[in-house]
Every structure is written in structure tokens, then in C-alpha cells.
Amino acid sequence: MVIPYTVHIGQMSDRIRFGHPKGRNGAALRLAKHARGWLRAILALCALTMLVACERDAEQTLRTKLDHWFYLGETVYFQSRSRCTGAMIRLESAYLRPTIAVQTNYDRAKETLRANGVAAIRKADMTPTELTDAMLMSGNGDFGKQALAAGALAASCFNGTEMGALLFDALHTPGATLVYDTQSSGLMVVDPGLSSLFYVAGDVW
């Protein structure tokens, strides 16, 4: 009796050994070999897809977004996982592009965030940390709360790295610019001394 061929890869070798006509063994072996080759290719593609899916942000996509607001130079650090992203990018200029106005007033920063979904604030004599605290205390809590949350949720993507230490310094640098984007839940800090942009974003599990 001739056992009909199937494409079930796990049973292919057993069917070849136990019942296929001798004259067809070569063709069956080739079929099994090709099937295993396709399986390996499919598994490799799935692994690559899962790896990409584990990133919250793609570096080039993020740079394209940020380039709308900043004069970007080279990327110094980039780490993106499923729930957080941390990046440090050199800037060609510490000034922001005209597409985003830098506010010096808490109320204006809050209004801009609500209207545009993104806002920037800077005071020459205050650090971003002091700005956040002041906004929380003044009743302009939206900007401050969301900025703090973004930093806390993204911590795993930069803690323990050189970027983490530099970001900490930037957050305590007077005159550094603080930016928040509601669409990406992204917190940005521009350190004028380093001419660098720090970007952190995180999601709630």
C-alpha cells in the first residue's frame, strides 16, 4: 500500500522511511529538505518581527519627529524597549526651531500644551526640575505631572548609563529647556551647555 504524501514536516522523515515506494524516496527527501528550509526562513522572519515589535520607537522615526522641533546632530545614545525609550542627540543649535515657541510663563505653557499637544518652557534662572515643581505648586499641574510621569516610566531605558547621569545633570541645569509632547508621552530636555537633546518616554503597564 502506498501512503499518500503530506506536507506535515514533523512526520515527513517517518513517512519516507516507512512506506513510500523506493523510486519516490529521492523526491520526498528533496521535498522535505525544501520544506525545512522554508520553515527556517519563516521562523527567522518571525523572530525579526518580534524583535522589531519589542521596540517602542524606531530611531529614524523618532529623529524625523524631533527634527521638526530641533536642529539635530548625531545620535549619541538610543535605547528603545516595548514600554520605554531613552535617547541623547547632539544639537547643531541649542535654540529650538520656529515651529515651537518657548514659553517663560507657566499659564502660557499649560495653554500651549492643551492647544497644540506639545509645549516648551525655559527660565534662565531655573532648572527643569525647579520648573516642574513650580508648575505643580502653582496649580498648572498638567505639564508638570506628565513630565514627571514620562521620566519615571522611561527610567529603565537609561538608568545606570552615562546618559542617565547626563540627563540628571541637565534636569538640574539653570536655563535648560523643558519640552513635553502628549502624542508620544515624550519628555525632552535641551542642555545648552552640552548642546544636547535628551528624550525619554514611557508607557503605563
More reliable by pLDDT, 51 or 159: 159
pLDDT of 21 = 46
More reliable by pLDDT, 144 or 52: 144
Instruction: Tell me 152's DSSP state.
Output: H
Q: Quick check: pTM over 0.75? A: no
Cβ-contact 157, 87 below 8 angstroms: no
Q: Which residues make beta-bridge pairs with 188?
A: 179, 199
β-sheet with 196-202: strand ranges across: 70-80, 84-96, 196-202, 186-191, 177-181, 118-121, 102-103
Lowest average pLDDT, out of 19-23, 68-72, 76-80, 197-201, goes to 19-23
Three-state DSSP at 158 gives coil
pLDDT of 119 = 94
pLDDT score of 204 more than 70: no
Q: Give the residue-averaged pLDDT of 64-91.
A: 95
Residues above pLDDT 90, as percent of the chain: 50
Q: Return left, alpha or beta for 17; rule: phi > 0 is left, psi -120 to 50 is alpha, else beta.
A: alpha
More reliable by pLDDT, 103 or 24: 103
| C-alpha pair distances (Å), 86 with each of 7, 22, 82, 168, 204 | 46, 61, 12, 13, 16
Three-state DSSP at 174 gives coil
Cβ-contact 113, 142 below 8 angstroms: yes
pLDDT category at 54 given cuts 50, 70, 90 is: low
pLDDT of 46 = 39
Residues above pLDDT 70, as percent of the chain: 71
pLDDT digits (tens, 9 = 90+) for 158-194: 988 999 999 999 999 999 999 999 999 899 999 999 9
| C-alpha pair distances (Å), 90 with each of 161, 192, 202 | 17, 11, 22
Residue spans of alpha helices (H) in 59-140? 59-66, 106-116, 128-137
